[in-house]
Structure 1
Amino acid sequence: MRLARVLLPSSPVPRIALERDGCLYDVAELERRRDEPLLDENSFTAEDFFARVFSVGGAGLDVLDDGLCAGERPTEARLWPDELLWLPPCLPERALLVQFVDAPEREEPRYHLGNPRGLLGHQESVPFPPNEPRPDVEISIAALLGDELRAATVEEAERAIFGFTILLGWVAREQERTSGPSRARDFAATIGPVLVTKDEAGSLDEARVRLRVGGVIEELARLAAPALSFAESLAFVSRHVTLLPGDIVGAPPIEGGSEAARRLGLAFGATLEVAVDRLGKIAARPVLGPEPPPYRRVKG
């Protein structure tokens, strides 16, 4: 399955959508058209993304997706991308964000905890700290979890992965130079636009990654199998941090991604598009944020 979380101008409540062949379909409308409901009316609504996707593993959504694959695609359920807002395919307020960093010289993985409340959706502008001379980005594949992991085995960690998506970790290099790596990344990351279930994503080893800024495209070298698998890295983290359904875990940044973005001329006001085989395409536009007010009173 390919799942999205979107906001329609006609409703303040985010909706769950299924993507198939580049088209989006409203889950609530697909369910209304069924003779027999897929949900117990007393459990949760069709719009409850966290409960529907992470708590109960996509209950009933596979049935709707099978219908789409079989050609049952009612026009009434179709969503038009130009008329909606893409939200992160997770619940940032209920997620932990774990980002692995590349550490080829170490036997143990290295990671840091990010700021999930800074997660932005597909096509959103990314406000950078106002003193940054230029934007930078680190491109990762992220796994989203469907089960709790606590001191897990590799097999348990593998089973806990619900699906994958694209993660753009924005970096304020001037902030990194003066204040360290955490503050340089906590202000924003872009995720999505779709969550692709593990069975549909398949093996992402050797997936192609393409970047585009303006009309210029660059393809990165195919992804190589990491020294540690996602499951091995998850099992390691779960020895130190309890991971819960809905948590987001980013793989080490894809080699050459940041350099390619700079070569393509990534600048404030320019749109970056990143496409990854089987995970789709994500777009974001870095901009300079406003000058913040003083954080302390000036004594007069």
Structure 2
Amino acid sequence: MKLVTWLKSGDEAAVGALTGDDEIVDLKAAAVLFEKADEPFESMLSLIQHGEVALDAARHLMLRVAEGGEKSLCTPLAAATLLAPLPVPESVRDAMAFEDHIINCIRVMGLKKLGRVDEWVEKKWGRRATLARFINRAWYDRPVYYKSNRFSVVGPDAEVTIPSYCRTFDYELELGIVIGKTGTNIPASRAGEHIFGYTLFNDFSARDEQMREMKGRLGPAKGKDFDGGNAMGPILVTRDEVPDPLNIRMEATVNGEVWSIGSTADMHWGFEEIIEAISRDETLYPGEFIGSGTCSGKEGKGCGLEMGRFLSPGDTVELTAQGIGTLRNRVV
């Protein structure tokens, strides 16, 4: 299913599912109409927490709506004000799953002028011979991640304010997952069962602040934690509708110009391995969010830092992925 959270009227948030005609079916209103008012559609979190039971109920309601032609329950997607699919996740973690992203960042931030020499070394003798890979060697041992502010989530078409302390503001092209099943010490072989669904994630970043604070051997903190810094959406696509999560093509544009192209095929660490690492002696709960990290690989670089290009007030950033849609945000 393709699920959304939108403003039904005023500031009332509602949970809906998309029809093939890009209309939103109000699941709670449908449950009331068909005398299924006890179904868990008060919020996206409630739906996720009830797992397959809730999804089966939602599928049944969608069939009833289609059969009965209940247009009063439908809102055109194009006319709806969408929020983030999961407006307040139970937690937000962001991983670094793409090798090229961290290698590129080491060259830009750490090696600086030597970065071009290191690129030449890679072309001549391969990545194993590079200084960037040597500096990055601990990353190959296990998936790494940081925790972000779950209360700073915004959805599509929300404006994102550049923090007052930032002069180099950046976007990140990412895919994200939402956990749908409780588990501890989850093996990678079973981790897919714990994924509820997928959405796009733009991890907006105050790069200058991030570089300063991480010299203190901790962080990122204020480089990532500010109001509106975590953009998610536009929809949450359930696991069963993503047959090949390691073959999702993504793109980022700024003011209509393509800046980034990437694919989940270039993930060094898959979401299953990331879940295994995070859940080691730690319980994961339904409604927790995990980002993939910046999607950089064979087709391009997934953020401005890697290219020396940054955002300015008035810029519109759009992330697009097949089957998920476009996450659009304007920087102010």
Please report the TM-score for the alignment, with normalisation by the length of structure 2. Answer: 0.75
Q: Who is 2:43 aligned against?
A: 48
The alpha carbon displacement at 1:103 in A equals 6.9
SS across alignment from 1:205:
helix
Pair 152,221 (structure 1): closer, same or farther in 2 beyond 3 Å: closer
The alpha carbon displacement at 1:179 in A equals 2.1
| 1:101 aligned residue (92, 96, 99) | 96
SS across alignment from 1:141:
strand
The alpha carbon displacement at 1:56 in A equals 3.5
Q: Who is 2:272 aligned against?
A: 231
State whether residues 213 and 265 of structure 1, in contact with CA within 8 Å, keep that contact through their aligned partners in structure 2.
no
- What's the CA shift string for 1:106-138, capped at 9, x where partnerless? 121111111111111111111221132242011
Matched AA of 1:175: E
| 2:313 aligned residue (254, 268, 273) | 268
Equivalents in 1 of 2:310, 2:269: separation in Å? Answer: 33
Equivalents in 2 of 1:55, 1:222: separation in Å? Answer: 31
Q: Who is 2:205 aligned against?
A: 171
State whether residues 135 and 268 of structure 1, in contact with CA within 8 Å, keep that contact through their aligned partners in structure 2.
no
Matches within 5 A, 1:3-18: 3-10=3-10, 12-18=11-17
Q: Who is 1:283 aligned against?
A: 328
Equivalents in 1 of 2:68, 2:188: separation in Å? Answer: 38
Equivalents in 1 of 2:87, 2:49: separation in Å? Answer: 10
Equivalents in 1 of 2:308, 2:71: separation in Å? Answer: 42
The alpha carbon displacement at 1:39 in A equals 4.7
The alpha carbon displacement at 1:215 in A equals 3.3
Matches within 5 A, 1:1-300: 1-10=1-10, 12-21=11-20, 22-34=22-34, 37-40=35-38, 44=40, 46-57=41-52, 58-59=54-55, 60-66=57-63, 74-81=70-77, 84-92=80-88, 95-102=90-97, 104=99, 105=137, 106-180=140-214, 181-187=220-226, 188-217=229-258, 220-255=261-296, 256-259=301-304, 266-287=311-332
State whether residues 142 and 249 of structure 1, in contact with CA within 8 Å, keep that contact through their aligned partners in structure 2.
yes
Normalized per residue, which structure has more helix? 2
Pair 242,193 (structure 1): closer, same or farther in 2 beyond 3 Å: same
Pair 265,109 (structure 1): closer, same or farther in 2 beyond 3 Å: closer
Per mean C-alpha deviation after superposition, the further-off stretch among 53-62 and 240-249 is 53-62
State whether residues 230 and 251 of structure 1, in contact with CA within 8 Å, keep that contact through their aligned partners in structure 2.
yes
State whether residues 211 and 261 of structure 1, in contact with CA within 8 Å, keep that contact through their aligned partners in structure 2.
no
Matched AA of 2:148: G
Q: Percent identity?
A: 20
Equivalents in 2 of 1:223, 1:156: separation in Å? Answer: 20
Could you tell me which runs of 5 or more consecutive residues in structure 2 were left unpaired when the two chains were aligned. 100-136, 215-219
Q: Who is 2:116 aligned against?
A: none
Q: Name the count of aligned residue pairs.
A: 279
Could you tell me which runs of 5 or more consecutive residues in structure 1 were left unpaired when the two chains were aligned. 288-300
The alpha carbon displacement at 1:266 in A equals 3.8
Please report the TM-score for the alignment, with normalisation by the length of structure 1. Answer: 0.82
State whether residues 176 and 199 of structure 2, in contact with CA within 8 Å, keep that contact through their aligned partners in structure 1.
yes
State whether residues 149 and 156 of structure 1, in contact with CA within 8 Å, keep that contact through their aligned partners in structure 2.
no
Equivalents in 1 of 2:236, 2:230: separation in Å? Answer: 16
Pair 192,133 (structure 1): closer, same or farther in 2 beyond 3 Å: same
